[in-house]
Structure 1
Amino acid sequence: MKEFVVYTLMRVVLFVAAFAVVVGIMALLLDGRYNLFWSVILAFLISGVASYFLLDRQREAFARRVEARAARASAAFEERKAREDSD
C-alpha cells in the first residue's frame, strides 16, 4: 500500500509542476492569458512522459508489491482448492 501512495503522490506532484510550468509559459507567450483546457491537456502529456522516466523506480516497487500479493492470493486459492478436493 505504501508503494501505491508514494507513486500516486509523486504523479500528482509531477502533474502540478508541469501544469505550473505550462501556465507560466503560456502566460508569458500570450501576454498574461492562457487557455485552461489546453494547459491541463499539455500538463497531462508532459507529466505522463516525465513520469515514465522519472518514476521508474517507484513504479517497479509498486509492480513487485502487486505481483507478490497476487502470488500469495493464488497460492491461498490453490491451497483451499486442494483442501476441498481432499475432503
Structure 2
Amino acid sequence: MKEFWVYTSLRIVLFLASLAIIGGVWALVGGDVLWLWVIVASFLMSGMGSYFLLNHQREALARRVQTRAEAMTSKIEEMRAKEDVDDDV
C-alpha cells in the first residue's frame, strides 16, 4: 500500500503545483482569473507531467499490484485443487 500512497500524494502535489503556476501566471497576465479554465489546464498539465515525472512510482505501483494479484490467483488455484481432492474422497 505504500506505493499507492506515494504515487497518489505525488499526483496531488503535482496538481496543486500546476494549479498555483497556471493561476499565478493567469492572474499576472490577464488579471481576471477564470478558475474553471485554470483547473482544466492544471489537470491537463499535471497529467502530462505525471506521465513523464512519476514513471518510476507508477511502475512500482504496477509491480506491487501484479505481485498481489499473482499471489491471490495462486491461493485461489490452491484452494480449488484442495476442493477437487476433497470431492474425490
Question: TM-score normalised by the shorter chain: which range applies?
Answer: over 0.9
CA RMSD of aligned residues (A): 0.5
User: How many aligned residue pairs are there?
Assistant: 86
Please list every run of 5 or more consecutive structure 2 residues that lacks an aligned counterpart in the other structure. Answer: none
Aligned residue number for residue 29 of structure 1: 29
Give TM-score, length-normalised by structure 2.
0.95
Deviating above 3 A after TM superposition, structure 1's stretches of 4 or more consecutive aligned residues are none
Partner Cα distance (1:63, 1:71) in 2: 12
Q: Give 1 or 2 for the bigger CA radius of gyration.
A: 2
Partner Cα distance (2:61, 2:78) in 1: 26
Counterparts of residues 7-86 of structure 1 (less than 5 Å)? 7-30=7-30, 32-86=31-85
Give TM-score, length-normalised by structure 1.
0.97
Identity, % of aligned pairs?
Answer: 50
Shift of 1:29: 1.3
Please list every run of 5 or more consecutive structure 1 residues that lacks an aligned counterpart in the other structure. Answer: none
